[in-house]
């Protein structure tokens, strides 16, 4: 599907205050990604780091906690995101901002590390961005990220036809290798959130800005009731006999090193 970046920015800006509370899976993904980085990167000290799509700071907090970074450049689509980072003024790390579409803005040279969590699925051209990152990294610099795979929010796509076109892990490897990266780690997970009614699924997605995947989709009373009814196929009873409605997240994690 075509991605309207202005619409994506608007939806995430509108969800800004509710995102931190409801993005429970994204927090777990950030924690897991940071742990993988700590395990696989030979050094925990970096002169200059870029984070793509910093959002409300889930990965940012982990980067500053687990690594010693002299300068951290934070990117996101919209300037309002900076409201989540007021506490960083006390950090010993120099914090700079690169607001705008990461596919369009110029990147500094000689970055030691480019990191991103739950953001790269919004790219129009992941291959072009990978080449851009390669050109901006120092020799033996690292590209570490999580993105989402084909089973992500599969329940929503099945019922509405709305959703992003996600790359598989194999496709991500092909793109990275084709752009002169060495894969140090690649893994996948499945997270399942349970809700007591399909309406709560939609409320959760709205609170985390994910409704940006359906910019042209309009709910009617009929389509909403149809959605609730058809979501029964994704329900199971818990131990108490109550129906639980599942929503799937499918993160893919990658730790890659730039080849000279």
pLDDT tens digits along 26-40: 899 999 999 999 999
- Could you tell me the pLDDT band of residue 214, with boundaries at 50, 70 and 90? low
pLDDT of residue 7: 47
| DSSP three-state, residue 172 | helix
Answer whether residue 102 shows pLDDT above 70.
yes
CA triple 218-166-156, angle to 5 deg:
35
CA distance 257 to 254: 10
Mean pLDDT estimate for the chain: 89
Q: Of residues 13 and 201, which shows the higher confidence score?
A: 201
Is residue 253 scored above 90 in pLDDT? Answer: yes
Q: Is the pTM of this model over 0.95?
A: no
pLDDT for res 167 = 96
CA-CA distance, 254 to 33, in Å (whole number)? 8
Residues contacting residue 131 through CB under 8 Å, at least 6 positions apart: 179
Whether 17 shows a pLDDT value over 50: the answer reads no
Question: Residue 3: its pLDDT value, please?
Answer: 56
The domains of the chain, with CATH numbers, are: 5-191+249-258 (3.40.50.150), 194-245 (no CATH)
pLDDT of 99 higher than 90: yes
| pLDDT category of residue 215 using cuts at 50, 70 and 90 | low
For residue 246, pLDDT beyond 80 = yes
């Amino acid at each position: 599907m075509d991605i309207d970046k202005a619409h994506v920015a608007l939806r995430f800006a509108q969800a800004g205050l509710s995102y931190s509370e409801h993005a429970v899976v994204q927090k777990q993904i950030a924690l897991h990604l940071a742990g993988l980085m700590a395990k696989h990167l030979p050094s925990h000290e970096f002169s200059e780091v870029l984070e793509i799509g910093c959002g409300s700071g889930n990965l940012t907090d982990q980067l500053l906690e687990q690594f010693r970074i002299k300068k951290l450049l934070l990117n996101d689509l919209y300037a309002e995101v900076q409201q989540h980072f007021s506490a960083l003024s006390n950090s010993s790390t120099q914090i700079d901002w690169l607001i705008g579409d990461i596919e369009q803005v110029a990147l500094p040279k000689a970055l030691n590390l480019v990191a991103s969590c739950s953001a790269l699925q919004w790219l129009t051209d992941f291959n072009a961005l990978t080449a851009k990152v390669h050109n901006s990294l120092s020799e033996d610099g690292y590209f570490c990220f999580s993105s989402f795979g084909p089973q992500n929010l599969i329940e929503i796509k099945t019922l509405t036809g709305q959703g992003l076109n996600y790359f598989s892990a194999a496709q991500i490897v092909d793109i990275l290798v084709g752009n002169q990266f060495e894969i140090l780690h690649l893994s996948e997970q499945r997270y399942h959130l349970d809700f007591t009614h399909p309406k709560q699924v939609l409320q959760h997605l709205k609170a985390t800005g994910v409704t940006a995947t359906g910019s042209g989709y309009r709910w009617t009373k009929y389509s909403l009731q149809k959605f609730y009814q058809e979501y029964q196929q994704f329900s199971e009873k818990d131990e108490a006999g109550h129906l639980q409605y599942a929503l799937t997240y499918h993160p893919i994690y990658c730790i890659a090193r730039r080849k000279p």
